[in-house]
Amino acid sequence: MRILLKISGFIDEMSEWSGKIAVWVVLLVVAIGFYNVFVRYVGRFTGIQLSSNVYIELQWYLYSIIFFLGFPYILKHGVNVRVDILYARWSEKTQAWVDLVATVLLLIPLCIIGFYVTVNPVLISWGRLPNGTWDTWELSPDPAGLPRAPIKSMILVAFGMLLLQSIAQVIKYIAIITGHKEVSAALKAELEEFKA
């Protein structure tokens, strides 16, 4: 179990970094949004177009990345949306059982299916043709738009990271069920620190 908990800890660190990157991306989205608004306002008075679709699409892409990188972080910290009417009253082991079953039967299959159905559209976006050869990658239909392939690839990253964090959570749920109190205490301390 120690080896599995180390693997879980490594995945947790990846998710933690993912969440930290998402925070910085939020700041970047705000800065780009502010720039867009400011230069459009200035452009009205000067008659010079200072903004373009690049900044608008970049803002959309970065906004998507916030969610893609945030999924594993949210799962790790247990702050995902849930109905706590009964759950909050259950014992820790019962909660771990419910989380374990839901993760194994719902979340992990969802990640695998999501990854599977996304691979081909991403490859097509990068320019893969039906005959297996490669062409130019997909571009935005908007004038001066950005390529679509990199942001579509982030969908694969999101499902992959969420799958890894799901596996880490399964390890922790099994540890709680089998009586590893240090895991339970660490999760409680982490949740309290997150809420503070």
pLDDT (tens digit, 9 = 90+) per residue, 10-60?
999 999 999 999 999 999 999 999 998 898 888 888 878 777 888 889 999
- Number of domain units in the chain: 1
Instruction: Please check the confidence at residue 156 and state whether its pLDDT lies above 90.
Output: yes
Tell which wins on pLDDT, 85 or 117: 117
Comparing C-alpha atoms, which of 104, 124, 94 is closest to residue 167? 104
pTM assigned to the model: 0.85
3-class state of residue 47 by DSSP:
coil
90, 178 contact by CB (below 8 A): no
Per the structure, the complete domain to which residue 48 belongs is given by 2-195
52, 32 contact by CB (below 8 A): no
